Structure 1
Amino acid sequence: MTVLETIVHNSTSEHKGTVIWMHGLGADGHDFESLAPMMDSPHTRFVFPHAPIRPVTMNGGMRMRSWYDIRNLVSGPYNDRESLEEVEESHTLLLELIESEQQNGIPFKQIILAGFSQGGAMSLYTGCRFPYQLAGIMVLSSYLLFPDAHKTESHPSNIQTPILFCHGSYDPMVDIIQAGKKSYDFLVEEGRTCEWHEYPMGHEVCMPEVREISRWISECIP
């Protein structure tokens, strides 16, 4: 059985909660590791998994760390441009990570799923389907995968779980309107508790956003 390799930043005080933070396409678990010390959450453990290495069609079949294959960036987020099979494979691996934290004494309701770009899409996909309430779902420069399937596959346990959306106004990779805001609106219409924040940047993370993330994490895992 495949097990995700991880980078871990342990809590500096009594461990009360965990953030599982997924990177974007072509990056790895080190990508957001430097942000952990910036979070005002000394009781929180941060786990940064490495995605599996696989060919990515839109990059000419080049092998790289990827949570799932993306065929192109032309179609909108509601078209079949992602590999459902590989999304499901990554979903299963993330479930194992969540359950590992629970087995180590952290309740599901004290676990946040977070991610950037592809990683954010996976945090939404897994978080909305998870059968027990989580502390929060964080979606950075990302979007909702397979909205039609989401309607029938999402689990009511996380309908009230806080969801944080952050997106760059000038994102050339994941369009803020057609991907980010449309996904946010879709989930709000479902009755979910969502926050939306946008920043004058591209497909990246900025310091005002980092401060907002820190505030939100400390509220979700007090």
Structure 2
Amino acid sequence: MPAWFDLYTYDLPVTPPPAGEEDEEGIRQSIMALDTLLTDTIAESGVDPSRIVLGGISQGGAMSLLTGLTIPTKLGGLIALSSRLPLRYKFKSMTSSHASSIPIFWGHGTADRIVTLELGQASAQYLINEVGIPRSDPPGAPQGLSFLEYSNLEHRLRDDELLDVMAWLKKIIPAQ
């Protein structure tokens, strides 16, 4: 199945796995590929990076977080749905100087058995406690990390979550 990086286990631990238990090489290659795509898009289109939001579900959300919080370009925001933060054992040393100022929308289902709610919460808490990203107050506000839980949602998307993403996007990307 296509993936951003290899998974060595489907039993994803809540505590950060030690070095060697995640596909760091594959993750770094994906970060470089996304950084190149973003850099080329900005150069070719002239679009202001503050109008670019990188997001995804599951591994796509993980790669959005990893890329957006480590590359030199400051993006307008990040979206992670049913996601986790890989490389937590070393992520703090990888972050860019602007990581704490990028708005993040994180949606997670309470019934997700692939990336558990507990793992999503632990990953978000890591970004707040270790990286210094402020918690959004209230949830859905256009700054900080906004973590929203969706009752009975499994490892997939649902309309109410997408409507919350749309409302959040309208707050962080100016009309002009």
Structure 1 length as normaliser, TM-score?
Answer: 0.68
Alpha-carbon shift at residue 69 of structure 1 (Å):
0.4
Residue in 1 that maps onto 2:141: none
Residue in 2 that maps onto 1:195: 146
Give the residue type in structure 2 aligned to 1:218. K
Residue in 2 that maps onto 1:167: 108
Hey, what's the Cα distance between the residues in 1 that align with 2:121 and 2:12?
16
Q: Deviations over 1:36-70 (max 9, x none)?
A: xxxxxxxxxxxxxxxxxxxxxxxxxxxx2110000
Bigger Rg, which one: 1
Hey, what's the Cα distance between the residues in 2 that align with 1:131 and 1:143?
22
Residue in 1 that maps onto 2:79: 138
Counterparts in 2 of 1:81 and 1:115: CA distance versus 1, 3 Å: farther
Any runs of at least 4 consecutive aligned residues in structure 1 with deviations exceeding 6 A, and if so which? none
Asked if residue 213 in structure 1 is aligned to residue 150 in structure 2, the reply is no
* Structure number with higher strand proportion: 1
Structure 2 length as normaliser, TM-score?
Answer: 0.85
Q: Deviations over 1:114-151 (max 9, x none)?
A: 01000011001111101122100111000111112111
Query: How many correspondences in the alignment?
Result: 158
SS at match of 1:71: coil
Residue in 2 that maps onto 1:48: none
Give the root-mean-square deviation of aligned CA atoms: 1.3
* Structure 2: 5+ residue stretches without partners: 134-143
Which of 95, 108, 122 is equivalent to 1:182?
122
User: Contact 2:12/2:115 (CA < 8 Å) preserved in 1?
Assistant: no
* Structure 1: 5+ residue stretches without partners: 1-63
Identity of aligned residues (%): 30
